[in-house]
Amino acid sequence: MSSTILFRRGRVIDPRNGVDGVRDVLVRDGRVAEVSEAPLQVQDAQVVEASGKLVLPGFIDLHVHLREPGEEGKETILTGCMAAVAGGFTGVVAMPNTKPVNDSVLVSEYVKAKAREARLCHVYLAGAITKGLQGEEMAEMGALVSAGCVCITDDGRPVMNAGLMRRALQYAQLFDLPVMVHEEDLTLSGKGVMNEGRTSTRLGLTGIPPSAEVAMVARDMVLLEETKGRLHVAHVSCEGSVRLIREAKRRGLRVTAEATPHHFTLDDEAVGAYDTHARMNPPLRTRRDIEAVREGLADGTIDAIATDHAPHGVLEKQVEFDKAWNGVVGLETALGLTLATVREGALSLQRAVALLTDGPARAFGLPGGHLAPGAPADITVVEPDVEWTVDSARFFSRSRNTPFHGRRLPGRVAQTWVDGRLVFEDGHIKESR
Beta bridge partners of 127: 152
CA distances to 164, 213, 218, 220, 351 from 185, rounded to whole Å, are 15, 6, 11, 11, 32
Exposure b/e, 62-89, CB count within 10 A at least 16 = b: bbbbbbbbebeebbbbbbbbbbbbbbbb
User: Cβ distance 62 to 258 under 8 Å?
Assistant: yes
Ranges assigned E (strand) in 299-407: 304-305, 379-389
d(CA 309, CA 288): 24
The bridge status of strand 122-127 relative to strand 89-94 is parallel
Q: Kindly report whether the peptide bond that precedes residue 57 is cis, defined as omega within 30 degrees of 0.
A: no
d(CA 31, CA 41): 18
CA distances to 103, 114, 327, 370 from 127, rounded to whole Å, are 6, 16, 20, 26
Is residue 287 classed exposed, middle or buried when 0-12, 13-18 and 19+ CB atoms within 10 A define those classes? exposed
3-state secondary structure of 153: strand
Q: Output DSSP code: residue 122.
A: E
User: Cβ distance 28 to 374 under 8 Å?
Assistant: no
State whether the Cα torsion 271-158-290-356 is positive or negative: negative
The yes-or-no answer on residue 176 being catalytic is: no
d(CA 206, CA 188): 12
d(CA 106, CA 90): 25
Is residue 39 classed exposed, middle or buried when 0-12, 13-18 and 19+ CB atoms within 10 A define those classes? exposed
d(CA 249, CA 286): 25
d(CA 367, CA 58): 11
Element (H, E) at 172: helix 162-173
d(CA 309, CA 268): 19
d(CA 433, CA 421): 10
Of 243, 278, 247, nearest to 263 by C-alpha is 278
Q: Determine which one of 303, 308, 378, 419 is catalytic.
A: 308
Residues noted as catalytic: 308
